[in-house]
Amino acid sequence: MIGFTVKEWAAWAPGLVDRDAWRAWARAPWRPVGEDMPALPEVPPMQRRRIERLGRMAIQTAWWCQQAQADSVPLVFASRHGDVARSMELLDALANGQPLSPTTFGLSVHNAIAALYSIIRGQHGNYLAIAGGKATAETACVEAAGLLADGAGEVLLVVYDAPLPEVYRNFADEPDAGFAWCWRLGRQDDDGIKLKLSWEAATESVPATGGLPHGLDVLRFLLAGEPALALVEDGVRWQWQRHA
């Protein structure tokens, strides 16, 4: 079991662009759809033009959540699928005998968005890029807890995903949506929302909540003030609990 405090949060999805909207959504959740993306005014235009929709969502929430002076805070960026749309561009080019774009390749790897954020912010600290199936948010929190245990004062956790390209839709095992959220995590004795996360071997299934991808359901659990949330994935039961 691990414990930590959510000291600050930010989130973005189509139709949900401020905290009041997110709190209302948590009381009556729906799956965000649409092609809108954040304006990301904090990033200079020459750098912003390289960042596509998924990266803009993730970087926008991280920017909102990170304190201006916290330039060396460790970063954990977590996405189940990453920028799979860019990967499809490369596969299409290969299938059609076309040359591959070095820029597209460089920005398609799983840590590219985290790297872009660290470059834009001028950060020189540790960053990680995580993918863990449906339990991506949980595995990212385990990494963040390890960084806190190693002495980090805070960790910035960013969870984000986008709908799969049509060619992969038959393989989807949960609803998908374009979204990003960020938590600024501290130790258990810090001020904020205190959470515990445990895991154990399990075989039973836990039904999804409200037709949401699990990564977004974790945010709903936080904002709705619910006492617990569970996920069973790959033989592991993950259990979230809220503590006073």
What's the gap between Cα 46 and its chain centre? 25
Q: Is residue 18 part of a domain?
A: yes
**pLDDT higher than threshold 60 for residue 208:** no
At residue 106, the pLDDT reads 58
Cβ-count burial of 31 within 10 angstroms (0-12 exposed, 13-18 middle, 19+ buried)? middle
Contacts of 148 (CB under 8 A, 6+ apart): 4, 154, 155, 185, 186, 187
More confident residue, 152 or 87: 152
At residue 139, the pLDDT reads 96
At residue 43, the pLDDT reads 86
Alpha-helical regions (H) of the chain: 19-27, 45-48, 53-65, 84-95, 102-108, 112-121, 136-149, 214-224
Cβ-count burial of 196 within 10 angstroms (0-12 exposed, 13-18 middle, 19+ buried)? middle
Q: How confident is the model at residue 217 (pLDDT cuts 50, 70, 90)?
A: very high
Domain CATH number, residue 123: 3.40.47.10
Q: Is residue 67 part of a domain?
A: yes
Both structure tokens of 98: 């076309």
pLDDT digits (tens, 9 = 90+) for 61-110: 999 998 766 667 899 999 988 777 777 777 776 777 777 676 666 566 76
Q: Is residue 48 part of a domain?
A: yes
pLDDT digits (tens, 9 = 90+) for 153-187: 999 999 999 888 777 778 878 888 899 999 999 99
More confident residue, 49 or 129: 129
Q: Is residue 205 part of a domain?
A: no
Q: Is residue 202 part of a domain?
A: no
Both structure tokens of 189: 């004795």
Q: Is residue 51 part of a domain?
A: yes
Mean pLDDT (the chain, rounded): 87
Domain extent at residue 111: 9-187
**pLDDT higher than threshold 90 for residue 48:** no
Q: How confident is the model at residue 49 (pLDDT cuts 50, 70, 90)?
A: confident
Q: Is residue 213 part of a domain?
A: no
* Sign of CA pseudo-dihedral 102, 107, 110, 111: positive
Share of the chain above pLDDT 70, in %: 89
At residue 31, the pLDDT reads 93
Which amino acid appears at position 78 of this protein?
A: A
Q: How confident is the model at residue 209 (pLDDT cuts 50, 70, 90)?
A: low
User: Are 6 and 195 a contacting pair, CB within 8 Å?
Assistant: yes
85 phi/psi in degrees, rounded to 5: -65, -40
Query: Looking at the 3D structure of the chain, how many domains does it have?
Result: 1
C-alpha span between 187 and 185 (Å, rounded): 7
Task: Find which of 16-25, 95-104, 120-129 is predicted with most confidence, using mean pLDDT.
Answer: 16-25
**pLDDT higher than threshold 60 for residue 136:** yes
**pTM (2 decimals)?**
0.91
Q: Is residue 132 part of a domain?
A: yes
At residue 240, the pLDDT reads 96
